[in-house]
Structure 1
Amino acid sequence: MSQHPNASFHFGIQVETARLVDDKVVLSSNLGEVNTNFVIFCTGFCTDWAQRPEYARVAGHVRLWQDHYPSLPGAPDRELAGSPYLGSPYQFLEKQPGSLPGLERIHCFNYTAALSQGASAGDITQVSDGAQRLASGLIASLLEEDIDQHYARLQQYAEPELYGNEWQAATTLPQS
């Protein structure tokens, strides 16, 4: 219930047209016509994979929160259920392991990461911390991919840091 008698909330309304009639806003909607002085549209956030063609090949493979934690009976939440269930450095995870190798190379650093990672990817005050976590995760994954090569180069390293003759023994004792 709204806190003001002149304000009301209409959830789930689908506005089809809006027109101005005698200084009033008239909305035609799935609930009928609404006459009002002011309209505030709040669309919210919803992950709709179908609206982004660049995700067409991966969308069905991405683990979502609904895959990890089914919604409570009678309390479905489409926004939360459709959000990606991300790994630590914001990477997509496979719904079925092995179904799309390489999916973990796609990182989701935007508002939809909030459910998995908190506000660190979509909140101005925390984005620097989130970017640091993303960068650290990317660096770690690059190192891990080439760990055998790095370890082999480390084992081949033969240039000595010290030769043993850097220090000379003192010939006298310090005077006090």
Structure 2
Amino acid sequence: MIACIVLVIIVAGCTQPSSPPATPPPATQPAVTPFPTVTPGTDAALLGTWYLKAMTGPGGSSPVQTISPQIDATFTDQGVVSGFSGCNHYSGPYTLTGEVLQGGWGIGVGPVVSTLMYCTDTSDIEARYLTHLQNAASYSITGDTLPLTDNVGSALVFQRTPYGPTAVPRGL
């Protein structure tokens, strides 16, 4: 009898189970969603250098003609606006929103950074210019004129043509 029990144990130990042991399913990795590549909207008519000819306050009040020193803004297809603000050079991002607004197409500018030279005779105009630029909410282009307007009607009005040595702004 003992021999039968030993024989059963030996035979049972030599057999393999009929199915392999269950392996846990592989851990699932969460789906990775890449961040979208942001490409600034572009408007070919906006690209290039524009020269400031006037600044106005809310609703077109307090026009200031600006010809000296020449203030400019260059818009690139990389979503960067840069230029000379009367004393310092500046640069910052801009985005075309694609919105149709009362003053034209939607635009956002800034934050803008600039060099820090001190100029007594242009500091007020420069500060106003950079504030208006960063508050721009819409733009429109008619011929060679580009107004950038904020939500209260203050505007920077640019023209395509640089001023010559004896030039004056062309109209307001």
TM-score (normalizing by structure 2)? 0.22
Q: Decide which structure has greater strand share.
A: 2
Q: Decide which structure has greater helix share.
A: 1
Q: Which has the higher contact order (CA 8 A, sep 6+)?
A: 2
